[in-house]
């Protein structure tokens, strides 16, 4: 392939999950349905937390932010994928690819930070219940979310700006359904040493740091729960963090699975399929995980539906 100096004229081709034309209608219906469920489910969580005064607490404030980020995360990749499948058109512009990298890195980073913040919230609630309201003040909650946004924005700005320094050949084929950062970097025609170094260092620092914080928080939580004498007390304490623990396990296990599959199989197609778990499936399941066993959210949603019926 001939290398171009002006990479902004390069055409990137998203190969997607399958090149079989017979599978396209099925893929479109499946992912369109999953996208609608994700948007609707997370919007209901946000609506419930805003409308019900009893849910104006730190835990539900973080949960509503997580739901908003999940909506944004899926909206970064799925609409373009659906358009490509429906129109049989694989191309994405250079600018569009850079924007996908920026926003995808931003919202995945926010997911990572918010899960760590929510783990800290559960740690304070279980290990220091009498001081919970004095520690988890509205000012602290807003500050934690703001710091998460700023840190994730700086990370995604750095990652996307480094990609802008790379040169790409003509008709770059990306074996994925979106412009995945590491995959795109390895398709560049120029030296990628700096990109690889920064990408791995930030993944270890930010991702590893948040995961370490989550593990530390749950280590303290387990110790506190074990110290509770009654079985009913233990169950009640564990139930307050069970949903978050399940979401954390789902997010990090699928994310780790993507990188392990890419390292073991060396198959970009397998990596693309594995990426569906934390980019599409996890954001879709989060509202169900948090609402199925959460009586507060169920009650808030029922109130909204009853109110709407009475107004009609």
Percentage above 70 pLDDT, the chain: 89
**145: closest CA among 58, 212, 203, 247?**
58
pLDDT at 64: 95
Q: Is residue 2 part of a domain?
A: no
Q: In what order do the strands lie in the sheet with 91-92?
A: 91-92, 12-14, 172-174
Residue 16: predicted pLDDT: 82
Residue 201 maps to which CATH number? 1.20.1070.10
- pLDDT tens, residue by residue, 152-198: 999 999 999 999 999 887 768 888 899 989 888 888 888 899 999 99
Q: Residue range 264-275: average pLDDT? A: 70
What is the extent of the structural domain holding 197? 7-311
Q: What is the pLDDT of residue 58?
A: 93
Residue 304: the pLDDT is: 63
| CA gap 97, 211 in Å, rounded | 28
Q: Does any domain span residue 179?
A: yes
Burial of residue 249 (CB within 10 Å: 0-12, 13-18, 19+) is exposed
Overall domain count for the chain: 1
Distance CA(169)–CA(190), nearest Å, equals 9
| Tens-place pLDDT, residues 37-50 | 999 999 999 998 98
Are the beta carbons of 46 and 147 closer than 8 angstroms? no
Please give the pLDDT value at position 107: 97
Whole-number Å distance between alpha carbons of 178 and 161: 18
**Is residue 1 in some structural domain?**
no
* Whether residue 310 has pLDDT greater than 60: no
User: Is 23 within the bounds of a domain?
Assistant: yes
Is there a domain that residue 81 lies in? yes
pLDDT at residue 36 greater than cutoff 50: yes
Backbone angles phi, psi at 169, to 5 degrees: -80, 170
Share of the chain above pLDDT 90, in %: 48
pLDDT of residue 146: 98
Whether residue 43 lies inside any domain: the answer is: yes
- Is there a domain that residue 238 lies in? yes
| pLDDT tier, 2 (very low <50, low <70, confident <90, very high otherwise) | very low
* Spatial CA neighbour of 243 closest among 183, 308, 287: 287
β-bridge partners, 185: none
Nearest CA to 15 out of 95, 100, 89, 98 is that of 89
pLDDT for 307 equals 60
The Cβ-side half-sphere exposure at 115, using a 13 Å CA radius, reads 30
SS (H, E, C) 228-239: CCCHHHHHHHHH
């Amino acid at each position: 392939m001939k290398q171009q100096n002006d990479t902004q004229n390069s055409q990137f081709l998203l190969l997607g999950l399958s090149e079989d034309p017979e599978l396209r209608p099925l893929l479109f219906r499946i992912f369109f349905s999953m996208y609608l469920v994700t948007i609707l489910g997370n919007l209901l969580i946000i609506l419930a937390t805003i409308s019900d005064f009893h849910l104006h607490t730190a835990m539900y404030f973080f949960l509503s932010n997580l739901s908003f980020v999940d909506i944004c995360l899926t909206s970064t990749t799925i609409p373009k994928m659906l358009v490509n499948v429906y129109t049989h058109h694989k191309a994405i512009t250079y600018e569009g690819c850079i924007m996908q990298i920026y926003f995808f890195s931003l919202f995945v980073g926010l997911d990572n930070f918010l899960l760590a913040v929510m783990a800290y919230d559960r740690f304070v609630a279980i290990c220091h219940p009498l001081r919970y309201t004095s520690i988890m003040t509205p000012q602290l909650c807003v500050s934690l979310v703001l710091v998460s946004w700023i840190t994730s924005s700086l990370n995604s700005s750095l990652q996307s700006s480094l990609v802008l320094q790379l040169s790409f050949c003509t008709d770059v084929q990306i074996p994925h359904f979106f412009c995945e950062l590491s995959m795109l970097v390895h398709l560049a025609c120029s030296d990628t040493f700096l990109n690889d170094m920064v990408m791995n260092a930030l993944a270890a620092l930010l991702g590893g740091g948040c995961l370490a914080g989550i593990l530390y928080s749950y280590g303290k939580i387990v110790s506190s729960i074990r110290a509770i004498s009654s079985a009913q007390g233990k169950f009640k304490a564990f139930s307050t963090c069970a949903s978050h623990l399940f979401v954390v396990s789902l997010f990090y296990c699928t994310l780790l699975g993507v990188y392990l599959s890419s390292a073991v199989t060396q198959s970009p197609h397998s990596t693309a399929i594995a990426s569906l778990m934390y980019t599409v499936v996890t954001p879709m399941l989060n509202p169900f995980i948090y609402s199925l066993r959460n009586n507060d959210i169920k009650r808030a949603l029922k109130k909204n539906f009853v109110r709407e019926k009475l107004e009609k």
